[in-house]
């Protein structure tokens, strides 16, 4: 019970920082993570839209779910893409290879906004040396033009509508 209440207090604080932001610069940095949804009854489950800047992913938006363990911040959150994405570091089930939230790299001082920024950076700039989809990593490395074309078409077909504001 101690972990749960601590986790919820911390997550409530982090959520307020994300939505309200202590200063405009921090809030501006989160323009790529929108439509944050958290049910009051379950602060351990967040949803939002990743809105990438870089081609080929700038043609759509991608819904993600962040699930925080009751032991948070002592254990990392899990991120799942709910929208399909053609990306070497994200598999068909939506699982992500993101070093900052791996068990061996996780630090309790890591804030949720830092995790989200790392995720946005990964989406905008794939890391083929740490793939979850070897086929896409190979295509990305050997035939970038083909990869970009395929990823753009996939994004247009499966991506969510980008927020206007």
Catalytic hit among 10, 15, 36, 97: 97
104 part of a folded domain: yes
165 part of a folded domain: no
Give the CATH number for residue 73: 3.10.110.10
Residue 79 appears among annotated catalytic residues: no
Between CA 159 and CA 165 the distance in angstroms is 18
- CB of 100 within 8 A of CB of 83? no
pLDDT value at position 98?
96
27 part of a folded domain: yes
| Parallel, antiparallel or unpaired: strands 62-67 and 42-50 | antiparallel
Between CA 3 and CA 10 the distance in angstroms is 10
pLDDT value at position 39?
82
164 part of a folded domain: no
Indicate if the pLDDT at residue 34 is higher than 80.
yes
Domain of residue 35, residue span: 2-158
163 part of a folded domain: no
- What pTM, to 2 d.p., does this model score? 0.86
Indicate if the pLDDT at residue 4 is higher than 80.
no
The count of structural domains within the chain is 1
């Amino acid at each position: 019970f101690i972990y749960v209440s601590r986790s919820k207090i911390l997550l409530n604080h982090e959520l307020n920082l994300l939505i309200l932001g202590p200063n405009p610069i921090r809030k501006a940095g989160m323009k790529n993570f929108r439509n944050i949804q958290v049910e009051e009854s379950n602060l351990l489950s967040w949803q939002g839209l990743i809105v990438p800047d870089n081609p080929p992913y700038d043609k759509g938006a991608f819904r993600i779910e962040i699930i925080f363990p009751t032991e948070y911040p002592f254990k990392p959150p899990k991120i799942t893409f709910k929208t399909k994405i053609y990306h070497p570091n994200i598999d068909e089930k939506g699982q992500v290879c993101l070093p900052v939230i791996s068990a061996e790299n996780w630090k309790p001082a890591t804030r949720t906004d830092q995790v989200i920024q790392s995720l946005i950076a990964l989406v905008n700039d794939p890391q083929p040396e740490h793939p979850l989809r070897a086929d896409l990593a190979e295509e990305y490395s050997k035939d970038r033009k083909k990869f970009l074309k395929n990823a753009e078409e996939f994004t247009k077909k499966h991506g969510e509508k980008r927020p206007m504001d």
